[in-house]
Amino acid sequence: MALSIQYHVLPPGSLAHAAAELFTSTVESAVALRKRARVAVSGGSTPRSMFAALASPTLPYLARIPWESLELFWVDERCVPPADPESNFKMTREALLDPLNQNLAALGRAFHPAQIHRIEAELPPAEAAARYESELRNTFRLEGAETPRFDLIALGMGPDGHTASIFPATEAIYNFTDLVTANPVPQHATTRITLTWPVINQASRVFFLIAGADKAATVRQVFTGPRNPDLFPAQLIRPANGILTLLLDQAAAAELPAADAAGYGTLTRE
């Protein structure tokens, strides 16, 4: 199946709001259809602004999202305790969860701890990966070789072409069987816990949130260049529904084909 890459190029200051709107509308639709939504988010500086928008009492997303019907997961995590400055969970807690609960309380609502499924990355990596995979199997009620189907997965991309914690020339590129893996990353002298790319590709909707001029050349290589996922693991992301969404600032999109007057463009990859 050909992959349709639908991209939206946004001016400075608009990226977080576009991501928050996509998050909100996808959750609304999932809850309307199935009475719940399951979303996996990534770390990094770019999603921090989206989280702040989602939790803001002065923006519409807080009131629109049916938070009581949302379950929150993480795409990947560094092997650090949850209070460590490097923790993706810590960033999400500070940018989203803490202000969210404070602002929901003013509305007589709450986002409960049972709805939060973090990666226990303070454990030894193999144990952390196994426990997170067990959490997915139990939450999604999977049997045998079934794969979870998230309603939304939000991804970032590094200047080296990695996404989630699937880095160039690492073992996770070749992992077709696990839901979660502890991926050694020699170039950073560490191990990361990550969803595997086949799990990501089963999500109902997948989007990349990418900002910065340092990503422009990699964006071009990943989405328009020759296929080489060992060098550019982000090329492994090909959702089963055939649609991949990119939200980019103007700097990150500088080397893509020009978008239309409204900032939209489409690429097709075989």
All structural domains of the chain: 3-255+262-269 (3.40.50.1360)
Overall pTM > 0.95: yes
Residue 12 has a pLDDT of 84
Residue 44 has a pLDDT of 85
Average pLDDT of each block of 10 consecutive residues along the chain (270 residues)? Answer: 96 95 98 98 93 98 98 98 98 98 96 97 98 98 96 98 98 97 97 98 98 98 98 98 98 98 96
Residue 207 has a pLDDT of 98
Residue 1 has a pLDDT of 81
Residue 187 has a pLDDT of 95
Q: Convert the chain into a string of H (helix), E (strand) and C (coil).
A: CCEEEEEEEECCCCHHHHHHHHHHHHHHHHHHHHCCEEEEECCCHHHHHHHHHHHCCCCCHHHHCCHHHEEEEECEEECCCCCCCCCHHHHHHHHHHHHHHHHHHCCCCCCCHHHEECCCCCCCHHHHHHHHHHHHHHHHCCCCCCCCCCCEEEECCCCCCCECCECCCCHHHHCCCCCEEEEEEHHHCEEEEEECHHHHHCCCCEEEEECCHHHHHHHHHHHHCCCCCCCCHHHHCCCCCCEEEEEEECCCCCCCCCCCCCCEEEEEEC
Residue 263 has a pLDDT of 98
Q: pLDDT tens across 72-122, in order?
A: 999 999 999 999 999 999 999 999 999 999 999 999 999 999 999 999 999
